[in-house]
Amino acid sequence: MDKSLNPVVGPSPMTFTSDHVHQHYRPWKWVAHLALLISDQILVVLGFAVAYWLRYHATWPPSLRSIVAEVPSQSLAPFHAFLPVMILLIIILTILFETRGLYRLPRGSGLLMYADAIFSSTIIGIAIIMVFVFLYRPYYYSRLIFAFAGGAIVVLLLLWRVLLLRVRQWGWRNGIGCERVLVVGGNGLSRQVMEGIMSRPEMGYHLVGYLHHAPQIPPDHASFPHLGTIHHLRSTVESRSIHQVILALPFWEHHYLPQLINLCRELGVEFRIVPDFYEISFDRVDVQHISGVPLIGLKELSIKGWNLAVKRGLDIGLTVLSAPLTLLLSLLIALAIRLDSPGGALFCQTRVGKHGRLFTCYKFRTMVHDAEKRKAELEALNEADGPLFKMRCDPRVTRVGRFLRRSSLDELPQLWNVLRGDMSLVGPRPAIPTEVEQYQPWHCRRLEVTPGLTGLWQVLGRSDTSFEEMVRLDIYYAENWSVWMDIHILLRTIPTVVMGRGAY
């Protein structure tokens, strides 16, 4: 790999500051997302109001009166009686819309994609509500009102999306709300991408310019703004407020990709890769097109936005529920530690958290009080690979400590870290700074999520897992997270800990 590109990479993994991973924060995206969320909820209520009027107050022609039977006045449910139903439906539809990706569909998405997400989610939501309502009926809830509500909600949401699409495309054509795009590459691929961006303003991209690996301007790129070489990527992104970088390098220049990708991640700027001869293959990628040219985006982390809020709620809920038991266990363990060896019951250590932030991690002491001083004497006996330090028969471990390690009870105080938000119940193993100093750039991907008490590395091997495999498992977890994955890992952790597999 060309070492001359090293300055492009920026701070090394050993730089621990709050700016270790910059986030290209664009408040208008969050405002637009929230406004769309609220408008959808208002339309759900409006859809129910339309359904209520159609069912109870509309005048139907004689041919339909046999289908829309009159409801006895004494059994007529007032509109406010549907308020709990509407609130529940709003919650269900919000979750379903987020799950179906309705609020993050890619640019260029047509009405059919919106219709599919809205129709299927609404049908599922109405079905869940009907099951819930007809198990408990304080009023006469007509089945037709739910059928009318489903139809009205679908129509209203689709009409709203059509209006938004038209307004958004009009704005893009007039340069309002466009993504500022920088293309990296000086070959036929990059030219084709830039021509596509220029010819389709309704896609909402504004071409700022391109960077080439050489200072010379390719003859067929003369009509596009040349902003320098790939060595100027950092300065160009920062000075020109770039929103998205498109890496359109020929296959013989793909050795630059890892460093360019790491820099984009560090700057928090979105990036996409144009495959040359389709020699790049990724699992479950995000693909968009500009004039027939495929733009491939690497998989984003799943733990963000709504998913992050759900995960945080799960962490707090389970930690609080387990508090009485863990407090009692902690008192007994602390007493056993003090009776077994001199020194405090707790061991405090600086660990590296999300985005490289440092925090104090709490554990029960399992070693002699001067263990850190004696570590240097044992470096030659390290049995772990990579930057980790592990020994099966570490002489520094106390008698009580050996039991605590095997049962993972030494990690109970980390529930305080979970409540503070430093850690999660499930996530990557929290690293220490000296380990991170030895990270390769791709290892830093695991620092983009909150560390956890347990994780895939815990249930699939614990200390027997190699460092490289642990990092791959952490990245897989971050990219494929779901509530069910967390629950599955937590449930599998119990037998793993009880049987002591891979622990030392």
φ, ψ of residue 313 to 5 degrees: the values are -65, -40
Nearest to 272, CA basis, from 288, 284, 256 = 288
Q: Which helix (H) or strand (E) holds 163?
A: helix 143-173
**The two three-digit tokens of residue 97, written as one number:** 């819309």
Nearest to 417, CA basis, from 341, 336, 358 = 358
Question: What predicted TM-score, i.e. pTM, was given to this entire model?
Answer: 0.49
Q: HEC states along 31-77?
A: HHHHHHHHHHHHHHHHHHHHHHHHHHCCCCCHHHHCCCCCCCHHHEC
List the domain boundaries for the chain: 27-173, 178-297, 306-499
φ, ψ of residue 180 to 5 degrees: the values are -85, 115
Taking 90 as the threshold, does the pLDDT of residue 358 lie above it?
yes
Tell me how far CA of residue 206 lies from CA of 38, 182, 462, in angstroms: 29, 9, 48
Taking 80 as the threshold, does the pLDDT of residue 122 lie above it?
yes
Residue 368 in contact with residue 396, Cβ under 8 Å? yes
Taking 70 as the threshold, does the pLDDT of residue 345 lie above it?
yes
Q: What is the mean pLDDT of the chain?
A: 78
**The two three-digit tokens of residue 263, written as one number:** 């820099």
Q: What is the pLDDT of residues 141-182, one digit of tens each?
A: 677 788 888 999 999 999 998 898 888 888 888 877 788 999
Taking 50 as the threshold, does the pLDDT of residue 278 lie above it?
no
**The two three-digit tokens of residue 412, written as one number:** 């109970």
Taking 50 as the threshold, does the pLDDT of residue 279 lie above it?
no
Q: Which residues have C-beta within 8 Å of that of residue 163, sequence separation ≥ 6?
A: none
Nearest to 168, CA basis, from 205, 211, 208, 115 = 205
When comparing pLDDT for 136 and 351, which is higher? 351
Taking 70 as the threshold, does the pLDDT of residue 138 lie above it?
no
Residue 244 in contact with residue 252, Cβ under 8 Å? no
Taking 50 as the threshold, does the pLDDT of residue 51 lie above it?
yes
Q: Categorize the per-residue pLDDT at 404 as very low, low, confident or very high, splitting at 50, 70 and 90.
A: confident
CATH of span 178-297: 3.40.50.720
Residue 268 in contact with residue 242, Cβ under 8 Å? no
d(CA 349, CA 38): 44
Q: What is the pLDDT of residues 218-244, one digit of tens each?
A: 777 888 888 988 889 999 998 998 989
DSSP 298: P
Q: Categorize the per-residue pLDDT at 9 as very low, low, confident or very high, splitting at 50, 70 and 90.
A: very low
Q: What is the pLDDT of residue 11?
A: 33
Q: Range with the lowest mean pLDDT among 79-83, 200-204, 292-296, 490-494? A: 292-296
Q: What is the pLDDT of residue 494?
A: 81
Q: What is the pLDDT of residues 53-95, one digit of tens each?
A: 887 776 666 655 555 555 555 556 677 777 888 898 899 998 8
Q: What is the pLDDT of residue 65?
A: 55
Taking 70 as the threshold, does the pLDDT of residue 391 lie above it?
no
In order, the DSSP letters of 412-436 are TTHHHHHHHTS-EEESSPPBPHHHH
Q: What is the pLDDT of residues 305-341, one digit of tens each?
A: 888 888 999 999 999 999 999 999 999 999 999 888 8
Taking 50 as the threshold, does the pLDDT of residue 187 lie above it?
yes
